[in-house]
Structure 1
Amino acid sequence: MEFSNLHQVLRSLYDEMLPLSADMAAVAKGLAGLGALFYVALKVWQALSSAEPIDVFPLLRPFALGLCIMFFPTIVLGTLNGVLSPIVKGTHSILENQVLDLNVLQQQKDQLEREAMLRNPETAYLASDEEFDKKLDELGWTPSDLATISGMYIEREMYGVKKMIRDSFREFLEVLFQAAALVIDTIRTFFLIVLSILGPIAFAISVWDGFQSTLTQWFTRYISVYLWLPVSDLFSAMLSKIQSLILQKDIDSLSDPSFIPDSSSTVYIIFMIIGIIGYFTIPTVTGWIIQAGGAGNFMRNLNQTTTKTGNMVGAGTGAVAGNIGGRLMQ
């Protein structure tokens, strides 16, 4: 819940800073007006010098951009966000449904595992205090019984310690997983705020002859960064679906009374590590959906940085999994 609140804070931050783009409109209007003057004068002079009729339609471009600059938060950002927000809501609903199914299956599996342990006389006393006390009452005070009782206490303590370490390790991976998602969302929000606030300046520069591609670059970068969140939700939904299928398989196995459950959570840990590394590939995957033309070295450096970060996190997490997780599986 805490991480959900942080993601909501980022949404509120973007909404709060969005009106600041209007403050850039005054500077952008002056820059665009000067660019429109030179642009129109150049086109008219070229037509007159060549004794050709003046084509009025291309001359309307600076005025259309000027209108966009004047009403930038409403016309440009409002239209883009209105078109792209259904994609975000759709992917988020997919994620919520998968997470809901995953939580239900996890609770069902935990209950079945406890019941399976209680059915097995060799493990029942580990999962239940009543069974432990019952087994103690069945033993006497002979030397062999005392040795058995001592062994039971040691085994029960070892089981509790292993369970505590295993749960702590799972929580550690879950925190890393949520932190990776928060890093991507924070960078996304920062990029969107910069593109939104300085958007009028980009529109104004595109009025000048020779800088027309700035407009296309701004649109492609904004859409590409905006789609980071839907891609992130789809990736999380995919991991949740995989875990749901694994849990469903375990639940089917637990329906067999002779099945002995394995509480090591090996598969869960593996997919948590995959998820941590996979989050840092989201900028690259989004670039496949819409090519942010003109980003050049910037996007390449960004992708390389996120890839290196993912590799470092994966290496560190893998080392911890090898040193700690391996002992828990024994």
Structure 2
Amino acid sequence: MDTFDNLHQALRVLYTEMMPLCSDMTAVAKGIAGLGALFYVAYRVWQSLARAEPIDVYPLLRPFAIGLCILFFPTIVLGTMNAVLSPIVRGTNSILESQVLDLEKLKKDKDTIEREKMLRNPDEAYLVSDEAFDKAIDELGWGPKDLVTIAGMYAERSWYNLKKSIQEAFLNLLELIFQAAALVIDCLRTFFLIVLSILGPIAFAFSVYDGFQNTLVTWLTRYISIYLWLPVADIFSSVLAKLQALMIQKDIAEMAADPNYIPQGTDGVYITFMLIGIVGYFTIPSVAGWIVQAGGMGNYGRNVNQAATKGAAFVGGAAGAAAGNIAGKILKQ
């Protein structure tokens, strides 16, 4: 899946290269914020003068503070937020990488143990070893019964290889869909962050006006919530990888303790985890919203939930039917 890793890395580069575009909005935002600051200050000064009250200078500093943020938006705002949030991304990514490496190692160990176990069994060794197959053929004669036995061995070996090929193709298909779902979430995340970053100065400028003060808080919560999609996705993938690793460890321990133990349903459970992962990726925006409450995301959240429901029905129906009609029969053999 190096291609998907390269695509994820390309999205990181895209976000970095698009960040300077927010400077193009700074000039427009300064004009909007400047006009808003004029009205903001004039209204409060006039109100204090009309009431013959002393002018409170501290609240009047708000538009100027926002103006400084607009003026140095890429450095002060985006730079600070990314510097604070990026360690979370690196931390969760390191957790995911360690779990994936452990899982890959366990899979290789399990495959090696299963192969060695079959090689020690004369009735199964010829299925996985060409040398054992040739040796078994050489030990047979050319009588009618021997020819029937040889034909049966060829048929059983062909069926075993076909079963493994179909099984691997089906698992590869699910892994492809799983990786594609992760890429969709990452692509949407990058797109939303770019839009929020480029138009961020405009959002800050409108927050100067009375009645639009909540725009600043809303922008911040949306940016943080969407930024956390990637850490949540990494944690979700780490949990799935850990569950699979625990199951493989259990099978390895059972095979080491009992030479006659045959793992049952491991591939079926792996398929189930893949389906859970595919559907679960569409719940990541909702989970990230639990960490930081982002206002105005209700419609998108409903659309994501509807997409997850439809995706679950489609993937579950298609993959479930395929698993039941093809993989299920294969695993029982």
Q: TM-score normalized by structure 1?
A: 0.96
Is 1:212 matched with 2:210? no
Aligned to 2:269: 267
Task: Output the amino acid matched with 1:329.
Answer: L
Q: 1:318 to 1:49 in 2, by over 3 A?
A: farther
Q: Any residues of structure 2 matched to 1:277-296 within 5 Å, and which?
A: 277-296=279-298
Q: Is contact 1:139-1:145 (8 Å) kept?
A: yes
Which runs of 5 or more residues in structure 1 are unaligned? none
1:318 Cα deviation after fit: 2.4
Distance in 1 (alpha carbons) for counterparts of 2:87 and 2:204: 26
Aligned mates of 2:124, 2:201 — CA distance in 1: 68
Structure 2 unmatched runs, 5+? none
CA, structure 1 residues 315+128, in 2 after alignment: closer, same or farther (shift >3 Å)? same
Counterpart of 1:327, as a letter, is K
SS at match of 1:114: helix
Give 1:198-277 correspondences, 5 Å limit: 198-255=199-256, 256-262=258-264, 265-277=267-279
Per-residue deviation at 1:221? Answer: 0.3
Q: Aligned partners of 2:113, 2:59: CA distance in 1, in Å?
A: 71
| Contact kept in structure 1, 2:103 and 2:241, CA below 8 Å | yes
Equivalent residues, number: 330
Give the distance between the partners of 1:192 and 1:318, measured in 2 at CA.
36
The DSSP-based 3-state class of the residue aligned with 2:293 is coil
Query: Which stretch shows the higher mean deviation, 220-229 or 249-258?
Result: 249-258
- 1:220/1:292 contact within 8 Å kept: yes
The 8 Å contact of residues 203 and 215 in structure 1, kept in 2 or not, is answered as yes
When the two structures are superposed, what TM-score results if normalisation uses the length of structure 2? 0.95
CA separation of 1:263/1:148 partners in 2, compared to 1, >3 Å: closer, same or farther? farther
Deviations for 1:168-198, whole angstroms, at most 9, x for unmatched residues? Answer: 1111111011001000000000000000000
The amino acid that maps onto 2:63 is P
Query: Post-superposition shift, 1:260?
Result: 3.1
Q: Output the CA distance in 2 between the equivalents of 1:29 and 1:10.
A: 30
Which stretch shows the higher mean deviation, 302-311 or 230-239? 302-311
Equivalent-residue separation in structure 2 for 1:25 and 1:91 (angstroms): 33
Given that 2:207 and 2:216 are in contact with CA atoms closer than 8 Å, whether structure 1 keeps it comes out as yes
Q: Which amino acid aligns with 1:314?
A: G
Contact 2:268/2:328, CA 8 A, preserved across alignment: no
Q: What residue identity is the alignment partner of 2:172?
A: E
Query: Counterparts of 1:264 and 1:151 in 2: how far apart (Å)?
Result: 28
The alpha carbon displacement at 1:327 in A equals 2.5
Counterpart residue number, 1:316 = 318
Deviations 1:218-247 (CA, angstroms, capped at 9, x unpaired):
000000000000000000110111111111
Does the CA contact (< 8 Å) of 2:19 and 2:198 recur in 1?
yes
Tell me how far 1:210 sits from its aligned partner: 0.5
Q: How many percent of aligned residue pairs carry the same amino acid?
A: 67
| 1:124 lines up with 2:111 in the alignment | no
Q: State the distance in 2 between where 1:248 and 1:88 align.
A: 28
- 5 Å-filtered alignment, 1:156-167, equals 156-167=157-168
Measured after TM superposition, the shift of residue 302 of structure 1 is 3.8
State how far apart, in whole Å, the 2-side matches of 1:3 and 1:153 are. Answer: 39
C-alpha offsets along residues 27-58 of structure 1, whole Å, 9 cap, x if unaligned?
A: 10001111111111111122122222211111
Cα offset for 1:76?
Answer: 0.2
- Show the 5 A alignment for 1:1-330: 1-255=2-256, 256-262=258-264, 265-330=267-332
Q: Deviations over 1:105-163 (max 9, x none)?
A: 11111100001111122211101111111111111122111111111111111111111
> CA 1:258/1:295 → structure 2, altered by over 3 Å: closer, same or farther?
closer
CA–CA separation in structure 2 for the residues paired with 1:139 and 1:176 = 47
